[in-house]
Amino acid sequence: MTAQTHRDQIRARLAAAAPAINPSILGCDYAQLGQEIADMEQAGAKVLHLDVMDGHFVPNFTFGMTIVEAARRATELPLDVHLMMEQPGRYIRQFREAGADVITVHEEVCRDQSELADLVAQIRELDALAGIAINPPTPLERIDKVAGNCDLILCMSVMPGFGGQEFDHVALEKLAALRDRPDVTAFLEVDGGVNVETIADCTAAGANMLVVGSAISGSDNYRQRIVELERLIK
């Protein structure tokens, strides 16, 4: 019997958890990051979402490999690292070595689908799950040739850069289209404005990875909020 690769193990964990709520650490208190992560894990989180912003591709700057490393030391949960950055290929290996289990890159930073496919292959060669993200204005045709050969597709429901934005329903149309494609076996993820009002629509459209930021981090009780969200998606 062939031994499972790290990618196989992470894929199996995500499949067992799906539909999974992925709390984003974007709104956490970074002075107490370890405790924040422990609180989310104890509240029932099965995956953690880490938003890396470079201040160029998006109008905000968050963190780099050191925070990913700190999160890795704090938990054994899968780390879903979303690279909102230009030239991600220069840093994929460093983020994988820092502890990323899923690495997602944006279509919008690639010249064409060939370059996007190369990034997917590079991530997989590092034994991580490879994700593709598209912003609300980006049509699915821009990832048409790669969608069937990646591990995760993230449909942004806001323009990336800042938390707390209003949900853009165009993401639901994209999720439903991807769900109905027989060649797409990737996890379908949605990020931006996902909360108690929108999360049920997301799962109905096909999302099985649901990134939740301020709806959890802004809550006084992480456990109560995650239970409420899980009730809505199930």
115-157 confidence digits (pLDDT tens): 999 999 999 999 999 999 999 999 999 999 999 999 999 999 9
Q: Give the closest residue to 209 by CA, choosing from 8, 7, 6, 14.
A: 14
Is 161 assigned to a binding site? yes
Contacts of 193 (CB under 8 A, 6+ apart): 157, 158, 165, 166, 167, 168
* Rounded Cα gap, residues 85 and 55, in angstroms: 8
Fold of 6-233: TIM Barrel (3.20.20)
Kindly name the residue from 80, 101, 151, 191 that is annotated as catalytic.
191
Is 169 assigned to a binding site? no
Over pLDDT 90: what percentage of the chain? 86
Among this protein's residues, is 51 annotated catalytic? yes
- The C-alpha angle 206, 129, 156, rounded to 5 degrees, equals 45
Amino acid at 122: Q
Among this protein's residues, is 191 annotated catalytic? yes
Domain ranges of the chain: 6-233
**8-26, pLDDT tens digit by residue?**
999 999 999 999 999 999 8
Kindly name the residue from 51, 54, 80, 101 that is annotated as catalytic.
51
In this predicted structure, the answer to whether residue 222 has a pLDDT above a threshold of 70 is yes
**Which of the four pLDDT bands, split at 50, 70 and 90, describes residue 48?**
very high
Average pLDDT over residues 161-182: 90
Is 64 assigned to a binding site? no
- For the chain, what is the radius of gyration of the CA atoms? 16
Average pLDDT over residues 106-118: 97
